[in-house]
Amino acid sequence: MALRVPKSSYPQLFKDGYKNLQGVDEAVLKNIQAIHELSEIVRTSFGPNGRNKMVINHLEKLFVTNDAATIIRELEVVHPAAKLLVMASQQQEQELESGYPLDTTLRVGDATNFVIVFAGELLQKAEYLLRMGLHPSEIVQGYELARDKALEILEDLCVETVKDQKSKTELLKAVKTAIASKQYGNEDLLTDLVIDAALSIMPKNPANFNVDNIRVVKIMGSSIYESKVVNGMVFGREPEGVVHKAYKAKIGIFTCSLDIAQTETKGTVLIHNAQEMLNFTKGEEQQMEKAILNIYYNYNFADAGINVVVTGSGVGELALHYLNRLNIMVVKVLSKFDLRRLCRVVGASVLARLGPPTPEEMGFCDIVETVEIGGDRVTVFRQENEISKTATIVIRGATQNFLDDAERAIDDGVNVVKAVIRDGRLVAGAGATEMELLKRLLSFGEKTPGINQHSIKSFAEAFEVFPRTLAENAGLDATQVLSKLYAAHHQDDSGLIGVDIESDTENNTLDAFKAGIFDCLVAKSWAIKFTTDAALTVLRVDQGIDIYTQ
């Protein structure tokens, strides 16, 4: 047996201060350990009984949530292997599926936690195989076979389909489970709000449904049960002037400030007497008055004068005075994203200059009014004669953290609507699909000759983490629940038996189909792909070189 040459005797390739990790022990196992640590952070937040995490980010903003996407986005993960996993989960949150138009993004909803938890478990199983003596390449090969087989099995586990995308009953099947995983106890109310909002803006061709057309406005106070859907666009502030209502409104939208223009350079004006002072200020007033009158009367285009002005910047007192005199309603919208949405709702173009819009650049809205919601006055843009292009869900609650969490649940629900419009296939939830995948993959592994069967079986056993986590987070005896699930799935090939987190009996299992607990097949499919790819990338790394710059 040859003696190992100490590292210090190697030729010096890098500058002093670099760190070199290589081999299974130093590189692969350390990466697996880092990913396992990340997955354990979010694993306890999985499912309806998932616990909240309190995260304070670098700006000292407080987040109290069980949403895995928010938790990992706010955590500053520095380990390179864990960063790979974070990127995989973010890709799961927003994914463009092949075959869809390039301008439409399919966010596959609430499976970011699935990606992180499953990756952590896959790599834990891989660590055991490495310690048994398998080479990383052999594990990679077995995992690839298992992934392909799992996706094939998943296609057979479809138990329900959303047939009519304009039916509230059909959409309820998919949306309720996604929202229950975030807001358990309020899922019925929030599901109704999401579906009502989605159906109010559903185009004739449901494939053109745009998640961006459903907005959320959070108004603190009262309870969640006071939340409602408003057909139109709601801004959480009053108009700037004295005019608070406009019918059959012609709208001009500006990104520039409605104020006296400031010069680029500083200058000195020498005024000798009071008359010169009056003339100086009067010139500014006349200039502003002319600009506002031009917008109102629009001398260049007959019948094109506007009576509602929306600005993305400030409004000067002088400009506001003339706007009030001409009975023009002024609304300030400081978010450029909201400004774009409003343009889409009213059919307007944004103007970067203070001048009259052409008829093509102007927007139209049936009613622009100020209404009171729970003591707060808000401005509503509403179209009455046609299906509204935008719906706003106004949510109420006692604390800002609760409102933020409800918004995340609604966001997931809306994206599930989009997902089932594109692919309406559903699989059984409550851990039932994962248990069936486990069973069938184990059977496939038994029939696979050679060393790959160890990796395939480990891949299958990794699916056990989901029902186990659901049971643990619900305070159940996970070992007892899993033994009953194993028995139920080996007696029945339907793959419908999952964890009953509400049961008071010792059974703790339920028929997910009868209970109406479904997951999107497309979300599960993408999650398995992303997770496996991330895990295989980590396993293929056998050396890490960290070069410190001086």
Q: Which amino acid is at 319?
A: A
For 108-134, the pLDDT digits (tens) are 455 778 888 888 888 888 888 888 888
| Domain parsing of the chain, residue ranges | 15-160+427-546, 233-387
> What is the biggest distance separating any 2 CA atoms in the chain, rounded to whole angstroms?
105
CATH code for the structural domain at 15-160+427-546: 1.10.560.10
With vertex at residue 19, the alpha carbon angle to CA 14 and CA 23, rounded to the nearest 5 degrees, is: 105
Rg (CA), the chain: 30
Q: Residue 410 and residue 414: Cα distance in Å, rounded?
A: 6
Kindly report the pTM of this predicted structure: 0.79
For 371-387, the pLDDT digits (tens) are 887 777 888 888 776 55
CATH entry 3.50.7.10 includes domain 233-387: yes
Q: With a cut of 70, list the residues of the chain below it in pLDDT.
A: 1-26, 92-110, 259-265, 267, 280-287, 289, 294, 296-305, 385-388, 504-505, 542-550
Of the candidates 526, 535, 476, 534, the residue with the CA atom closest to the CA atom of residue 501: 476
449-453: Cβ within 8 A, 24+ apart: 451/134, 451/138, 451/142, 452/138, 452/141, 452/142, 452/145, 453/142
Q: Residue 263 and residue 318: Cα distance in Å, rounded?
A: 17
The 3-state DSSP class for residue 550 equals: coil
